[in-house]
Structure 1
Amino acid sequence: MDPTLKEVAMSLTLRTADVALAERFDYWRSVVCDAFVPLRAEPGEGDFHGELSTVRLGAVQLSSVEANAHTVRRTPRTIASSDRDYFKIGLQVRGYCVLTQDGREAPLTPGDFAVYDTTRPYSLSFDDTYRQLVLMVPRARLRLKPEEVARITAVRVSGRHGIGALVSPLLLRLADHFDEYESPAGPRLADNIVDLLVTLISGQLELDSPNPDSGRRALLIRITSFIESHLGDPDLGPETIAAAHYISTRYLHKLFSQEGTTVSALIRERRLEHCRRDLRDPLQLTRPVSAIAARWGFVDAAHFSRVFRSAYGASPREYRFTSEPFEGGVTLSAD
């Protein structure tokens, strides 16, 4: 079996033409489950062929999928078998697709795209040869509430009008130059893509809801995405965040107070979570704890050790070198 795509930090292409005809669809099912999330796949008629290319840009994955007729389904059983929680954005390049989720159908023709959520059932049906780009973003990066997610899934967005006309060409250019993004600039590029998607989703939420509170929520989504993208900046704070969104620091604090937390608490929680993951990452075992802390904006090693122990019940070094689970976790209490 080839290395799973989720473990490869470079562009990679897999083709069914590389295996025997009788094994192609089983191989394809394995490929798409490894690349994305566990799925049920059902072949169409005739001989099957497929090709998948993928590249990792920081926490974001961009894939190009080319195949002939088949259907994939995310079912309650496949959801239960995996804790990989993502939003996926499917952009149709060639052919036709029907995305179904949350009681809606999004018929996608070339240039159209839609958002779907891997934590709930969905299906993608392709009735002929097609090419689709799939952008996979951790759900935590967009920080949407469940009720907001349910309003935007399987909603067709035209790639020919509005901000959709900016997103479609950008993703197409990325997909045509996979090998050019295997560099330290990849994570920064991913942050820019996520910011653009947050703007798109925020606008969609505002358009689709008569609720006067939707504008505030859309702004909060943009702000939390900005925070996530700038955690490594040790100077990240209320003044910087407010200025970037053309609001006063007083209004910024009010937004977070209405959510039952503070700006500083959110920044600390997200930084600690990234540090926790890096400390348990086998590929970063030789990286100094201080370097991991600095990567996520903790410039004072002693301060980092104190807040980490408070959150997870162990020092960073203890947490890194033990397999025992620890009590505790980050709490978004007000400062």
Structure 2
Amino acid sequence: MPQLPASHLDLNEWKIASNSAFGKLDIEASDPESFQVELKTATAGDVSLFDMRTGPHSVARRAEDIPAGDVPYCKLSLQIQGSSVMRQDGRECQLNPGDLALYVTQRPYELEYSQEQHSLVVLFPQSYLHLTPFQLESITARTVSRTDGLGRVMVPLFEQLAENIEVLEGPHAVALLQSALNMLVTVFASELDSQPGMNSENLLFEQAQQYIEQNLSDPELGPQTIADALFVSVRQLHARFAAQKTTVGVFIRTQRLEHIREDLANPLMKSESISTISARYGLHDASQVSRAFKTEFRESPSAFRARVFQS
């Protein structure tokens, strides 16, 4: 994402900078002539942080301004001073100092800042969270407070990020931010355990499924890499898959073979070799692929493809 200059901006400059960084937004200020933004930014990998001190204003992301196929991003807003109101997915939450909430760029949202305020916004790819669409929609525009539950641990961490934004650069900063964002999902899960599909056990299994789907091309994909990415132990991961009457290895293999079968039956990929298709999903041993495919589907990849295109 573009990095904004650390500077003071008037309303028109803020509109231009915000549209560049966040996508098209409708920004209005109660006193346009005196409106000012004091902005500090940092970028670590594909995560951007915006430390903003602004006058009263409102922000709206409208459905007609969201391009089809736009890369999905999440935005985490931490209120440091003043207050704000966030609306998305039919919910409204008020953020006071020490509160944070999550929203997404691919669906409409509204933000209202009725007074001078100071906030930190963290912009990051939605894929970082490894959540299903239902799970993500369940946690938008919900307040996590530094005075309640696990928020007492997480909010101070993000407050420290805001206070030390100038040192957030390089690979260590990327790892730190990824860790913080994944831990935040655990906080939301603890807040939403009572909602169907959002208890912490289901969440881990769904996160693992999402991570596997996104990383099938990695030949090293396995229990350890998944557990590391989700910040859980391998034992916890195996337990969640065992509860679903499967194993991590079986699930990965099944997903890979299903994708290979889909591509073998796709007329647009008819000219691609079986080995090319298999490599796309992290399998590079042709004989191993043939054996696994035949075990799963009762025929070899070549026989399956020949049958599909003869019918």
Structure 1 length normalisation: TM-score?
A: 0.66
What amino acid is aligned across from residue 214 of structure 1 in structure 2?
N
Given candidates 149, 169, 175, the residue that maps to 1:162 is: 149
Residue 118 of structure 1: CA displacement?
1.3
Distance 1:171 1:114, change over 3 A: same
Q: How does 1:137-152 map to 2 (within 5 A)?
A: 137-152=124-139
Number of the residue aligned with 1:67: 54
**In structure 2, distance between residues paired with 1:190 and 1:256:** 34
Q: Which residue of 2 aligns with 1:219?
A: 204
After the TM superposition, which residues 252-331 of structure 1 pair with which residues of structure 2 at under 5 Å, given as runs?
Answer: 252=241, 255=244, 262-263=251-252, 306=276, 310=280
Q: Distance in 2 between matches of 1:196 and 1:253?
A: 23
- CA shift in 2, pair 1:221/1:73, >3 Å: same
- C-alpha distance in 1, partners of 2:221/2:200? 24
Equivalent in the alignment of 1:40:
26
Secondary structure of 1:80's aligned partner:
coil
Partners of 2:209 and 2:49 in 1: how far apart? 22
User: Residue type matched to 1:34 in 2?
Assistant: S
User: Which SS does the other structure have where 1:171 is aligned?
Assistant: helix
Q: CA deviation at 1:52?
A: 2.1
* Displacement after TM superposition at 1:244 (Å): 1.4
Q: Which residue does the alignment assign to 2:2?
A: 7
Alignment of 1:173-188 (within 5 A): 173-188=160-175
- The range that moved more, 175-184 or 228-237, is 228-237
Gapped runs of 5+ residues in structure 2? 258-274, 282-295, 298-311
- 1:237 paired residue among 216, 222, 239: 222
Q: How many Å apart are 1:111 and its aligned residue?
A: 0.3
Of residues 75, 92, 95, the one that matches 2:82 is 95
Aligned residue pairs total: 260
The equivalent residue for 1:104 is 91
Question: Are residues 194 and 101 of structure 1, via their aligned partners in 2, closer, same or farther at CA, if it must alter by over 3 Å?
Answer: same
The 2-side partners of 1:212 and 1:87 are apart by 21
Whole-Å Cα distance in 1 between the matches of residues 24 and 121 of structure 2?
15
Cα pair distance change 1:12/1:309, threshold 3 Å: farther
Note closer, same or farther for the CA distance 1:143–1:226 as it changes in structure 2 (3 Å cut): closer
Structure 2 residue matching 1:7: 3-state secondary structure: coil
Name structure 1 gaps, 5 residues minimum. 1-5, 17-23, 269-304, 312-333
Q: Which has the larger radius of gyration?
A: 2
Identity across aligned pairs (percent)? Answer: 29
Structure 1 residues 141 and 69: alpha-carbon distance in aligned structure 2, compared to 1, 3 A threshold: same
User: What do the CA deviations read for 1:84-118 (whole angstroms, capped 9, x no partner)?
Assistant: 31121111000010111122210111001111121
Q: What value does the CA root-mean-square deviation take over the aligned residues?
A: 3.7
